[in-house]
Amino acid sequence: MQIAHKNVRLERVIKGLNALTAVFVVASFVALYGFHEPLLPRHFLYGVQVALLCILIIASAARSLNAASKAEYWRANWFEIPLIVGLAISLLGAGRWFGRFDAASVRHFAVGVYLVLQVLAKLCRTTVNLAASGKNPTRTLIVSFLVLIVSGAGLLMLPKASAGEKTGFVDALFTATSATCVTGLIVKDTGSDFSLMGQVVILSLIQLGGLGIVVFGAVFALLLGQALSLRESVAMQDLLSTRTLSRIGNMIAFVFIGTVLIEAVGAVTLFGMWDDVPGWTGNVHRQWFCSVFHSISAFCNAGFSLFSNSFISYGRCWQIYLMVCPLIVLGGLGFGVLYNLANIIADRVNRFFKKLFNKQYRIAMEAPKKMRLQTKIALSISALLIVMGALCILVFEHYTGKGDPSRDFDVLGAFFQSITARTAGFNTVDIRALSDSSKFILILLMFIGGSPGSTAGGIKTVTLAVIVMTVFAALRKRSEVEMFKRSVRIVVVGRAITVTMLFVVVLFGATLALSITESDNPNGFAMSDIMFEAGSALGTVGLTTGLTPFLTAGGKLIIIAVMLVGRLGPLTLLAALTFNLKPARYNYPDEAIIVG
């Protein structure tokens, strides 16, 4: 919501002051909690936070007085009132109403929570405003990812984020990129090399990167009561790949609520899994953290695990197949598909009860909501890839496998790897032990990835369907590409071909670059393993044959770039670079040529 102000210059000064204050807030928390001992005396840092608190409150009051309509300002920023009330109750009630806790601890905690919420609110609102600034919103998305990666790398480099030796810059940057791009490739063991603080940072990067920091900004803006303007709604429509502008608020709310519910159900279901494997030494708190971590990692298709061998030790647990697999599939279908399915189910339930209790409704019954073409394609191609991938892996491991198929690989293992290869990155078998044929199938699955608008990478299932049906249309001498009795626009066909070609170029280019940087690597990597690593990074999958920890610094930087390209998508990067180019207003005369 855009608010008019009496003095525009004063408003700009206040915004600059707020931005500077937010930087100092972050610095104070880093100095307090990022090191084994605070960089400065603890009481001094607490005093700095109190001073920053006063600055934010005074700035808020000044903005209110400078607003042309104070009622409009407080409607847009109503969340500040309960924050102030909660802060006042905590400060005044410390030592009185919170007898179980130390008064100073309660005050420090209340001030810290207020500062964090204020910084988050301002950061989220800023991302939405930048996306709606009239410039290409994809550039805002790219910049937000880069800022998130660099910030995450800085936090992972803090001494308290590591369980042992301090993480170097390249390794921290690699881990932050892998988490933000929901890839799962690691150069440091997440469970043993990072402390609880480091693991929380990685988990936060996964969640923010999986759903998109700009979408999170819009979500919190809506939760805080700040309605999106028309320009902001258009920007969110572009970033969410949503067709209906009028329902953009419903779509964003669905993304947030659906994500919380799905990840919560996943965490509760996974809670009892860790006790089923001998050697588990974690307590109840660690058990809950493992459940939440792996639930978020699975739904965001990140592939990060707190165990050094991923889920190999848990290959016989039912939760792996009845909960982790559905989490991966739901996260890879895309929020547009899930939103369409949720609307259809709600419509069917509503119609059932109306017909049951309202007889007149049967006469004046409106048409039921139908499944969109996007949903049909995503569901059918996803199911086909899961079944065909599992069958191919089973057959190849049976005839070309290196071990005993009856002992080392079974239907459940093939089924899980077929699902997880399309961007999740978990594994219940040793990838290095698979045959070259099976690895090739995994590369194809990683290249295809999930569905548009999801947390997955790859060229996407719908892109594959458009490419295949374009070939069929040419073979059948049809002038239009058809799917499910619907025609596909020629511009969509061109976009699908462009995405596929760009992915092919990046995949082969990354493979070539890695073969050069790793030519003198003492481990002697095979070309097939190098291509597997490049395909895993480009598809934001995270499966590896064991190369990642032993890559050279140059190889790690190449994988970092490939992961970022795979998460954002080559077409997004191309659109950001060519946004201001105007289309040509003329055509050249055509002439027949021979192809094939």
Which amino acid does the sequence have at 98? F
* Alpha-carbon distance values, 17 to 10, 14, 118, 407 (Å): 10, 5, 13, 65
Q: What is the pLDDT of residue 381?
A: 92
Q: What is the pLDDT of residue 116?
A: 86
Q: What is the pLDDT of residue 475?
A: 87
Q: What is the pLDDT of residue 363?
A: 53
Q: What is the pLDDT of residue 557?
A: 92
Nearest to 140 by CA among 380, 424, 426, 132: 132
Q: What is the pLDDT of residue 406?
A: 42
For 307, which DSSP code? S
Q: What tokens does 232 get?
A: 């902001």
Phi–psi pair at 194, nearest 5 degrees: -115, 145
Which amino acid does the sequence have at 25? V
Q: What is the pLDDT of residue 213?
A: 58
Q: What is the pLDDT of residue 441?
A: 92
Helix (H) or strand (E) holding 568: helix 553-568
Q: What is the pLDDT of residue 259?
A: 86
Contact 160, 35 (CB under 8 A): yes
Integer Cα distance of 490 and 481 in angstroms: 8
Contact 161, 198 (CB under 8 A): yes
Integer Cα distance of 246 and 234 in angstroms: 10
Q: What tokens does 2 get?
A: 């855009």
Exposure pattern of 23-54 as b/e (b: 16+ CB <10 Å)? eebbebbbbbebeeebeeeeeebbebbeebbe
pLDDT by 10s per residue, the chain, length 596: 567 777 788 888 888 888 899 889 989 988 888 888 888 888 898 899 889 989 988 888 888 888 877 777 777 777 778 888 888 888 787 767 665 667 788 888 888 888 888 887 777 777 666 655 556 656 777 777 888 899 999 999 998 888 878 888 999 999 999 998 888 888 888 888 898 889 999 998 998 888 765 565 555 555 444 555 555 555 555 555 555 445 666 777 777 788 889 999 999 998 888 775 555 566 788 888 889 999 999 998 888 988 888 888 887 888 888 888 999 998 888 877 888 888 888 888 887 777 777 666 655 566 777 888 888 999 999 999 999 999 999 888 878 766 554 445 678 888 899 999 888 888 888 888 888 888 999 999 999 988 887 778 888 898 899 999 999 888 888 888 888 888 888 888 888 888 889 899 999 999 999 999 888 888 778 888 899 999 999 988 888 888 888 888 899 999 999 998 888 776 566 555 555 556 667 777 877 777 76
What angle separates helix 213-223 from helix 103-131, to the nearest 10 degrees?
Answer: 110
Q: What is the pLDDT of residue 442?
A: 92
Model pTM above 0.75: yes
